[in-house]
Amino acid sequence: MAAQQAIFTNEGEALFAAMLFKNDSTVRPANLELLLFTNATVSETTTYAQLTEPTGGSYARKTLTDANWTIASGVFSYGSQTFTPQGTAYTGNIQGAAIVTKGSNPKVLFIVTDPSAPVTLSAGTPYTVEVNVACASTTKGNTEFFLNLLLKNKMSLRGTTMKAVLITDTADTTAKLETDLHTPTTVGGYAAIDILDNTWTINTTTGDAVVTTSTSLTFTPTTTVFSSDVIGYAIVANGNVVCVELDPTQPVAIPLNTPYIITPSIKIM
């Protein structure tokens, strides 16, 4: 199959949101699977239950073992996977391939269509899929962190608690690590605020997963004002920047004893 851009499904976005924000490792059992599908039409709204696989010819999925993914220059690779019908042809024309989770409640993460579809595979005809997921060059640092969770199941990278921090410099919009952020000093009692895993809610009613906290987070200068004006906030997990949200009225000088309230809402796209 020629290289094509993979579709990150809505189902996959919701699963990823549960892993990242709710620290839920149960939604992603060990190892993934690669399958072929015969659906003529697929999109980001396609679910695992809607995928139809070929039959006959001893067709079987390929297991993608978590530890066997490699990373180089922002590309997560598993290597070529070849499906070859044995004895008889596969029943159904091949339209593409998909990466799915295992377990009792499987989900489809990525779908890629074959530009040569429909493809008919007779007995003994190999069909090779190059299993690669590339990071966008402009956001590679963050995306590598995200894909390590999703593809390699490295939940240890997520840490035990997320936190919200205020930011003070427009350069922070491209920050990958917490150490790259500019935040107020401890003057005025400024401190990051922890966000408990069980306070996150994932809403998928509009397709893309939208993650919000059930409580607002309040930063209030006491004794003296914060050391710098605020331009927005960032959500951080184990030293990695998850997202940055700018205040539309930035820069904001927060008066003494005046609460600055944020209610994080993040769309996974």
Low-confidence ranges of the chain (pLDDT < 50): none
Token pair of 90 as six digits: 């596969």
Report the DSSP pairing between strands 75-83 and 127-134. Answer: antiparallel
* C-alpha to C-alpha distance for 70 and 76, rounded to whole angstroms: 6
* C-alpha to C-alpha distance for 96 and 108, rounded to whole angstroms: 13
55 and 184 Cβ atoms separated by less than 8 Å: no
CA angle 4, 6, 11 (to 5 degrees): 160
Q: How many CB atoms neighbour CB 225 within 10 A? A: 18
Report the DSSP pairing between strands 127-134 and 7-8. Answer: unpaired
244 forms beta bridges with: 234
Residue 138 has a pLDDT of: 61
212 and 200 Cβ atoms separated by less than 8 Å: yes
Residue 35 has a pLDDT of: 98
